Structure 1
Amino acid sequence: MSRMKYILAGLVLLLPLSVQSASIVEGFEYKRIVPAQQTQAPGGKIEVVELFWYGCPHCYRFEPSLQKWLKNKPDDVVFIRIPAQMNPGWVIHAQAFYTAEALGVSDKMHHKIFDAMHKNNRKLNTADEIAALFVENGIGRKKFDKAFNSFGVKTKMANARGMVQRYGAHSVPTIIVNGKYRSDATMAGGTHQDLVNVINFLINKERSK
């Protein structure tokens, strides 16, 4: 293949990426957060936050796309989940999330909670119902109760409520990039892949600064 053909082949491969980037516009596919919020990521890292609720079917359906993205997440990106508490019924599920984190079982219990609610139709609307799920997965009831009712968990819940308000988010799942930009599947174009595309676009936008 001649040198010119190599160049043309490369341009063909890059064209979809260029078209994709050109179609992502501030105010449409994402919005700027004013003022920008402080991130938890260490210096030099780009923070991506997912705001979610365990009872949200859209959040549950977004999980496979999110997990696929996480497997290839760039080394300079830090990913954080924040459970939204936009309605009173969501609060106890945020408490479950931070309880799992306090017990060091986030990776396992995150998916167990989602599956229990969406595959097995378990509401998990009470402490006893949530405790039963944790016990089924090897966590002692006393250990669960201590973490569930701890000051540390309550503090993280309060901090999360404040962050969601400052982000200006009103629905889930919502993605926040580096405390500066907010998007969701509807805003991004309607599909989970559209939202992933916006995440990658905003990461590159921050990286280029």
Structure 2
Amino acid sequence: MNKMIQKTMVFLVVALLSCSVALAEKYEEGVHYERIVPAQPTSTVNKVEVLEIFWYGCPHCFRFEPYVERWLRKKPENAQFVRLPGVFRPSWEVGARAFYTAKLLGVFEKLHKPIFNAIHLQKRKLNTEEAMMEFFAEQGVDKKDFIKTYNSFAVGTRLRRAKTMTARYGIDGVPAVIVNGKYRVSNRMTGSNAETLKVINFLVEKESK
């Protein structure tokens, strides 16, 4: 009887180890995510940084946003989420400046989703400073405050950094997610928004070990 119990215990241990290995190997480098060489510095301390690179004018980013919102409600405790506006070309600068303007004016949480909705649901062309100013004004932001901040040194500095990091991360499109400055994840490799989030969680766990 004791031998039977021992054999059963051994079988269970082996089965559990096999499952752990299978889970650990579910996502592969070069298949589901890419390594960034060299790794880039992060802005977080004692947490795993999960950085999303996006553009307000991107329909894929718009569709990814609800998934991000759900992930944020259940994200790993040791994960720190950061957004970075991608800047591939001059036409993307308006969105990036709007992002940093909203941040500095303290209205980002209020305006982030409405900007996406205005562009993709209402089909508004928020592709100039004036158009973006009018939109901010509709949301209660003083036009003078908008203009001063939008064209400020602080926003200009952040915009230059966004351009630099967009290039350093080696992304070829948005949305893209960078985990701890080391790994690049996108739907191009994962195949879907839902799967992208699973890979992100996998990499957060990997970086937590």
User: What per-residue deviation string (whole Å, max 9, x for no partner) do you get for residues 21-53 of structure 1?
Assistant: 4331001110111111110001x2110000000
| Match of residue 61, structure 1, among 56, 60, 63 | 63
Compared CA separation, residues 18 and 131, structure 1 to 2 (3 A): farther
SS at match of 1:163: helix
Give the aligned partner of residue 164 of structure 1. Answer: 166
What's the offset of the Cα at 1:158? 0.3
For the pair 1:181 / 2:153, whether they are aligned, the reply is no
User: What per-residue deviation string (whole Å, max 9, x for no partner) do you get for residues 51-109 of structure 1?
Assistant: 00001110000011110000112232111100001122111110111110110111111
Give the aligned partner of residue 131 of structure 2. Answer: 129
- Does the CA contact (< 8 Å) of 1:86 and 1:170 recur in 2? no
Equivalences for 1:1-209 in 2 at 5 Å? 19=22, 21-42=24-45, 44-188=46-190, 190-208=191-209
- Does the CA contact (< 8 Å) of 1:98 and 1:156 recur in 2? yes
User: What per-residue deviation string (whole Å, max 9, x for no partner) do you get for residues 113-143 of structure 1?
Assistant: 1000001001101111101111111101011
Question: Please, what is the CA RMSD of the aligned residues?
Answer: 2.1
SS at match of 2:50: strand
1-structure distance, mates of 2:176, 2:103:
21
Q: Structure 1: which 5+ residue stretches go unaligned?
A: none
- Does the CA contact (< 8 Å) of 2:101 and 2:149 recur in 1? yes
Compared CA separation, residues 21 and 197, structure 1 to 2 (3 A): farther
2-structure distance, mates of 1:21, 1:28:
14
Deviating beyond 4 angstroms after TM superposition, the runs of 4 or more aligned structure 1 residues are 17-21
Q: Structure 2: which 5+ residue stretches go unaligned?
A: 1-7
Letter in 1 for 2:53: L
SS at match of 1:143: helix
- Report which of the two structures shows the higher radius of gyration computed on alpha carbons: 2
What is the TM-score of this pair, normalised by structure 2?
Answer: 0.89
1-structure distance, mates of 2:82, 2:21:
28
Letter in 1 for 2:179: V
Figure out how many residues of one structure are paired with residues of the other and give that number. 199
